[in-house]
Amino acid sequence: MGSPVSGDRVRFTATTPEGAVTHEGILLAPSARDHVTVKLDNGYNVTFAESTISEISTISAATLPEESLNASPSEDPKLPEIWILHTGGTIASKVDYVTGAVAARFEPEELLDAIPELANHARIRTRKLGNMWSDDIRARHWNAMMMATKEAFDSGAVGVVITHGTDTMHYSAAAAAFAWAGGGKRPPGRIVFTGSQRSSDRGSTDGTENLLAAVHWAAHGPAPTGENGDASVIIMHAGSNDGVCAIMPGCSTRKFHSSKRNAFQGINAQPLGTISVGRGGQCQIEMDVKQPTRDIATEPIAFDEGKRILQLVAGAHMFADQIELASNYDAILFHGTGLGHLPIEDPNGDSPENAAMRDAVTEYCAKGGVAVMVTQCIHGPIHMDVYSKGRDQQELGITGNQATTGPDAALVKLHFLLSTGQDVQSGWGANLCGENASSIFN
């Protein structure tokens, strides 16, 4: 064979400080100039400078992946119908062996071909909403997801699975909760978000079990109450090992780790339950079931895509001119320190920036500006009654005292209140869909 090209399976030997090493894998486009990059069988990439490679040989030539010729698994007419709405993300990613990049390019139908056990849980319909990395998602995409869930429910589906990139999945899940339950009702069926921390080419991928558990929940979970955080849920690995996925409230959950399989944890809330995933894709839900009392909503409440919220983080680099930017926004969401504080005092007389901050906040609120406080601590309530500074902030007009809503869901809730024209101060104290529970668990 000639010189190896991207996509070939190769064996090479490289010199390292610990001695010579030999690897086999798929040759990728190099990650840097004058380097060699190979994807190993375990899914990880290794890169060596060309100058360290003493030998490289082609084991087999590159071959294009064959399209699946298998027929879709036959449907069981007795099973409930669910829809899988595909937005993108790692759960729908493949490695491109020419470029070496992991790209979101699964069609939804390919999920059925890859995981035929899904057909044992439900009659599955698929809809592709996009192939987006989740950091590109905005309110218009929340609305598109929710209108697709309405279409699914109107067509007879009992549940919907939304496959989503994990980085902002908790924002979209919160948006679903407020859209369907923020008005005091509950969704017509189950809505579950799921994703994958590890791409499908890696042996440690978590996508298969996450999707199996999500489909099972959508098809066989209890009816959502709309008031205890179950209007939408996030289902992901409960721990680093396989076998158990956690059912987490969509309005009280955040991604806490960039790469762990159990990256998602509740904020001031416990998981609603777990789903055990056994061999052959069998699933079992374990949770306390509550009976719904709310009426069923016929359609979701849309977010006003024109609303703009300025997020500011309290600390040594917060300045008054940042508040001046708020004239271009509909509200400010302050990420305060501790119980919810801003740098607005100058007890030593050496920090005029703090006094200027106080003046800027005072002027902003006096002109009717909407200012809401959440905590950088993630867990725990806002409590601006404890210290004098907090009481002063309330007098200035900052809202948020005693709320237990996490900072991510708070952003979505504020957007929801602005979209529906509600008074933010009174709406903030309400518990619309489980986001502002009176008892906290973290």
- Judge whether 81-287 and 309-428 match in fold: yes
pLDDT of 71 reads 43
118-171 pLDDT tens trace: 989 999 999 989 888 899 999 999 999 999 999 999 999 999 999 999 999 999
pLDDT for residue 66: 45
Mean pLDDT of 289-308: 97
- Average pLDDT in the 83-99 region? 73
CATH for 81-287?
3.40.50.1170
Pick the CATH number of 9-60 from 1.20.970.10, 2.30.30.520, 3.20.80.10, 3.40.50.1370: 2.30.30.520
Distance of CA 1 to the CA centre of its chain: 46
Among candidate residues 290, 294, 353, 288, the one with its CA nearest the CA of residue 320: 353
DSSP 106-132: --HHHHHHH-GGGGGT-EEEEEE----
pLDDT at 303: 98
pLDDT score of 373 more than 90: yes
pLDDT band, residue 310 (cuts 50/70/90): very high
Q: At residue 64, does pLDDT exceed 70? A: no
The single residue of 87, 149, 163, 166 carrying the catalytic annotation is 166
Asked whether the predicted pLDDT for residue 389 surpasses 70, the reply is: yes
**Residue in 87, 150, 167, 392 annotated catalytic:** 167
Question: Can you give the pLDDT at residue 100?
Answer: 55
Give me the pLDDT at residue 2, please: 57
What pLDDT band is residue 69 in, cutting at 50, 70 and 90?
Answer: very low
Percent of residues, the chain, with pLDDT higher than 90: 68
Domain ranges of the chain: 9-60, 81-287, 309-428
Q: What is the mean pLDDT of residues 310-325?
A: 97
Active site residue 399: no
pLDDT at 273: 97
244-249 vs 233-237, strand pairing mode: antiparallel
Which of these is catalytic: 255, 392, 399, 408?
255
pLDDT tens readout for residues 228-247: 999 999 999 999 888 999 99
- Categorize the per-residue pLDDT at 70 as very low, low, confident or very high, splitting at 50, 70 and 90: very low
Annotation says 94 is catalytic? no
Residue with more model confidence, 180 or 34: 180
CA dihedral 415, 127, 433, 424 (to 10 degrees): 10
Residues 372 and 336 sit within 8 Å (Cβ to Cβ): no
Average pLDDT of 13-33?
85
Mark whether 52 is an active-site residue.
no
pLDDT given at position 394:
97
pLDDT of 6 reads 81
The answer to whether residue 295 is catalytic is no
d(CA 375, CA 357): 18
Is-contact 233 273, C-beta < 8 A? Answer: no
Given the residues 37, 87, 90, 404, select the one marked as catalytic.
Answer: 90
309-428 is classed CATH 3.20.20.370:
no
Half-sphere exposure of 114 (CA within 13 A, CB side): 18
- Helices (H) and strands (E) in the chain — how many of each? 9, 20
